[in-house]
Chains A and B, each alone.
Chain A
Amino acid sequence: MSAAVVAAGLALSACGGGGSDAGSGSSGAKNVVAKAKNDKKLTIGIKFDQPGLGQKQADGTYAGFDVDVAKYIAKELGVEESGITWKEAQSAQREDLIKKGEVDFIVATYSITDKRKNEVSFAGPYFIAHQDLLVQADNTDITGPESLTGNKKLCSVKGSTPAQNVKEKYAKEVQLQEVGKYTDCVTSLLNKTVDAMTTDDVILAGYASQQPGKLKLVGKGFTDEKYGVGLKKDDAESITAINNAIKKMQQDGAWKAALEKNVGPSGYKIPEPPAIS
């Protein structure tokens, strides 16, 4: 009996020791808050190809809601815009970039999921998106996910969560075209090769803003995607600091203003800011 207790105790302490060792070894024993305070520099991962959220402009600057959130957080941590190095964080590489320390944190339509929590930690959510449909502006027969019947053709990006949602729930009624990038879906949609495209509503709103008058959002979101700020596992101090920054951004109106500026032109209804969990 007592031997078992001792063994369990040993196992526990061994786990704890291993964990903290790995943490300090890979991150060089510094968290994001401390780095921001000391170096006045941050490397932030964003999307480069997501209009309205994170996009690299033709003139080399970056614009979008995620970019504005990232700038606000950086400012709260004491880093000016000139001290930010932007880095492209493609969906499949996000966990890796964080774990290897190539970015300090990631603000890139990064949904908080349990699997990802095994690899990284999340602050936020700073936004809750809903999977939605984008259709031609004059389309009247697609009113929501239930209307995806009668052999409709739907486009999404291969491997993405929205595409898998559709495959699981609506596969019998709808044909799914999986392409490499969302812009390919937009092209197909404008050509009428597909009837609709699907992903998170705020991303769709970004594309609708690019094609004013041609495309419209259906506006019947059917999942909740909580966008979080991804950062190294167990950096509790930084999570608190980033959460405080997000709360402040929501309260002083900068959050709403950023959304209105970036995705407002599509007619996207700005939701209430989510509660930080």
Chain B
Amino acid sequence: MSTLFDFLDNPNYDLLGAFWMTIKLTFFSAIGSLIWGTILVGMRVSPVPIMRAFGTAYVNIFRNTPLTVIIVFTSLGLSSTLGLNLASSESTTSLEDNAFRLAILGFVAYTATFVCESLRSGINTVPVGQAEAARALGLGFVQVLTLIVLPQAFRSVIAPLANVMIALLKNTTVASIIGVAEASLLMSDMVENESDSLLLVFLLFAAGFVVLVLPLGLLLGWVAKKVEVKR
């Protein structure tokens, strides 16, 4: 058994660090995409035509662009060509920090479209009468949305949102192409060096993702049941 996993003894393989980076990427991207996705859905259902048009255009463009293209664009397009720097260029970890923040930017831009569409389906579950009643009380659009409609919409779409978040967690592997040191970047190191135990390397990383995804799925499934709006 010990000889089987000998390849893990190499001190350059920071397995926990790599998966911790995966978790950090997921965490920050999840928060960002929930916020941006909520703003987007507000635009998509708003009474202002230009906002509706922007929301629709944004969702359709980003949802239909491959994530790899978006992530490479943040690095080569935004950072390398247009000179957008999200980290101080003086710091000794500026490349690392810049890649990490660019990756989160890309994930938020992409995942927010799916959050937006999930929420929009949740809004459709809220009876029209509630919005009408709120308007009759004299509430404006933003108040109707934030006080009456969205709280109910959120609670009915926890389960689909959980799927979006699980997909996000797995999507973070794409960040390796711009050099974020997460799990799949370490995996490519190990694939290059440990060509005689490839299958074990793959199984190890698959197991790592199962360990991350299973509890997340169970937890969010439980939350979804708990907060569901009974109608």
Contacts and interface: CB of A to CB of B under 8 A. Distances in A.
B115 to A, nearest CB: 27
B189 A191 contact: no
B179 A167 contact: no
A118 interface: yes
A188 B188 contact: no
Contact of B93 (A92, A118, A175, A193): A175
Contact of B12 (A168, A178, A193): A168
A177 interface: yes
In this complex, the interface size class of chain B, counting residues with CB under 8 Å from chain A, is 20 to 34
Interface string B84-101: 000000101111100100
A184 B76 contact: yes
A153 B143 CA distance: 50
B92 A158 contact: no
In this complex, the interface size class of chain A, counting residues with CB under 8 Å from chain B, is 20 to 34
A95 interface: yes
B195 A116 contact: yes
B185 A178 contact: yes
A179 B193 contact: no
B18 interface: no
Nearest to A157: B188
B72 interface: yes
Given A168-B12, A193-B80, A177 B188 contact: no
Given A158-B179, A175-B92, A175-B95, A187 B76 contact: yes
B26 interface: no
Nearest to B92: A151
A185 to B, nearest CB: 10
Contact of A115 (B81, B178, B196): B196
B148 interface: no
B12 A179 contact: no
A161 interface: yes
B91 to A, nearest CB: 8
A164 interface: yes
A168 to B, nearest CB: 7
Interface string A86-102: 00000110011000000
Given A167-B12, A175-B96, A176-B95, A159 B188 contact: yes
A194 B94 CA distance: 11
A20 interface: no
Interface string B175-200: 01111010001011101111110100
Contacts of A179: 75, 177-179
Nearest to A120: B195
Contacts of A167: 12
B79 interface: yes
B193 to A, nearest CB: 7
A237 interface: no
A96 B8 CA distance: 22
A161 B192 contact: yes
Contacts of B185: 158-159, 178
A133 B72 CA distance: 24
A130 to B, nearest CB: 18
A216 to B, nearest CB: 20
A96 B198 CA distance: 10
Contact of B76 (A160, A168, A188): A188
Contact of A92 (B79, B95, B192, B196): B192
A159 B94 contact: no
Residue from the set B90, B93, B191 with the largest chain A CB neighbour count within 10 Å: B191
Given A92-B191, A180-B177, 18 more contacts: A92-B188, A95-B195, A95-B198, A115-B196, A118-B195, A119-B195, A153-B95, A158-B179, A159-B191, A159-B192, A175-B92, A177-B95, A177-B99, A177-B179, A179-B75, A179-B178, A188-B76, A191-B81
Interface of A: 91-92, 95-96, 115-116, 118-119, 151, 153, 158-161, 164, 167-168, 175-180, 184, 187-188, 191, 193-194
Interface of B: 12, 72, 75-76, 79-81, 90, 92-96, 99, 176-179, 181, 185, 187-189, 191-196, 198
Kindly list the 8 A-B residue pairs having the minimum CB-CB distance in the complex, ordered from nearest: A159-B188, A178-B179, A180-B177, A118-B196, A175-B95, A193-B80, A159-B192, A177-B95
7 contacts: A115-B196, A158-B176, A158-B189, A159-B192, A178-B179, A178-B181, A193-B79
